[in-house]
Structure 1
């Protein structure tokens, strides 16, 4: 996303509408771009006779169409068809195709909500913390919760806490880790709660979500804090936090921040 791709192949007179993505494409390059940008949203809605006919009649891709038809008849595997299209286009390096194959392999058998979480997880792993945070917030909307297990909700809350912590929003991070523990009962969430609280001013109030802390968890956290505090990086992080707090008043700006995240996230998916 955010890169310029030169379309060199044939352009269709009539576009193909990718229903599940709400996108119209005119070229093979545009189709590949739409697939690559929305891997985590691919489903059965976009593959089938209409796509096969469009590729063959509008773009003249008879060989590719034959391979797609054969593959789809055998396995009904949407991801396999996506890989065939990307590979046949010639636009991608071997390394990039390998990365895409790994992502698609992890997605097989996942529910739609799990795949959407994987997209936010991908942003988190790429250090695009605002995009990750908005992805998690979107998943946590009330209308989505009925499609999730408690464990999945806990995983989303935990990772939202990680995104907040990376943005130096440690109070919000602590709240998310505490909420995550209420769902998943994970020691990792409790441990991360303690870590985030280490950066929260004493006068800040979190509410009623604080998890019960077992002695073993407290002992491990204390051991880790002692180890970390002996490292220069700890003080560099504390200085970054202090500088961030002095240069920008986060309190009272949550709604502005959320609107900016939404705008940035939507721009990335254009």
Structure 2
């Protein structure tokens, strides 16, 4: 995919950025990505592989050597990417100054906070599985970086939302349950009860609602809203396929359920790639 009109050499072999499934073919496209995705600028992108690609595919030996030196010196992110911008005069001095301010503000955040911001960014760009991976990394850092219950709860909640978008309702339910333990807000409770219901367990939903004192009227209204949403989803091809997969789960056929769910998610992913070109 080409973002802007390229004035320099385009490579035959692209530089693949896994986080958002993008192929980069030119220095212009690389600069565009660096400028617009500051929350994803880490060692998964700024590494030796990028330098080798610049050298071998674009013939930019001097730029590649300079960026490699900066990486070896463990220079700041802004320092590492500045030579790329300068190479094609991508930004004016003032534009780069403002960009550096934004980047430095992000870099000054605690590591665990930067991970959550990265996960939220991926979620916003519909990269749900990658977002889940980042959220899990974020939670694994809790012991090293001290955070409050509100922060932890928000990570669990957002991870639950990512799982829900992937139609993995059991995982979503567990995440929302943990979020409820930390946050105990009405919106999180609604997310949890919705996930329980969408996972096909109305009895459990009633039991959980009773534990926290949800009124019958409120519970009935929530169920109605869920049913209206689910009915519209079931009428689609994907919805009908998912309903069939759930039958394996209800019948206790764990192996068949997991195999069909993996195939289903793979098909959804392939469809996304076909539709976007990524």
Interval of TM-score (by shorter of Structure 1 and Structure 2)? 0.5 to 0.7
Q: Does 1:46 align with 2:8?
A: no
Q: Does 1:135 align with 2:130?
A: yes
**Cα RMSD, aligned residues only:** 5.9
Contact map agreement 1:165 1:173 (CA 8 A) in 2: yes
Q: Aligned partners of 1:259, 1:181: CA distance in 2, in Å?
A: 31
Match of 1:7 in 2: 6
Q: Aligned partners of 1:266, 1:104: CA distance in 2, in Å?
A: 33
User: Number of matched residues?
Assistant: 238
Match of 2:249 in 1: none
Q: Aligned partners of 1:239, 1:10: CA distance in 2, in Å?
A: 53
Deviation at 1:34?
5.7
Match of 2:123 in 1: 124
Task: Structure 2: state its 5+ residue gaps.
Answer: 246-259
Match of 2:251 in 1: none
Contact map agreement 1:7 1:29 (CA 8 A) in 2: yes
Which one of 184, 193, 200 corresponds to residue 197 of structure 1? 193
Match of 2:75 in 1: 76
TM-score by length of 2: 0.52
Q: Aligned partners of 2:269, 2:163: CA distance in 1, in Å?
A: 15
Matches for 1:169-184 after TM superposition, within 5 Å: 173-181=172-180
Contact map agreement 1:83 1:101 (CA 8 A) in 2: no
Q: Does 1:105 align with 2:105?
A: yes
**Match of 2:117, SS?**
helix
Q: Aligned partners of 1:85, 1:108: CA distance in 2, in Å?
A: 23
Match of 1:149 in 2: 142
Task: Structure 1: state its 5+ residue gaps.
Answer: none
Contact map agreement 1:37 1:269 (CA 8 A) in 2: no
User: C-alpha deviations, 1:105-145, integer Å up to 9, x for none?
Assistant: 3244443x75454333113334x2xx12x02333467xx58
Match of 1:256 in 2: 263
Q: Aligned partners of 1:107, 1:263: CA distance in 2, in Å?
A: 34
Q: 1:11 to 1:269 in 2, by over 3 A?
A: closer
Deviation at 1:8?
1.0
Q: Does 1:186 align with 2:183?
A: yes
Contact map agreement 2:31 2:84 (CA 8 A) in 1: yes
Q: 1:84 to 1:203 in 2, by over 3 A?
A: same
Q: Aligned partners of 2:117, 2:277: CA distance in 1, in Å?
A: 15
**Match of 1:243, SS?**
helix
Deviation at 1:211?
9.8
Contact map agreement 1:35 1:42 (CA 8 A) in 2: no
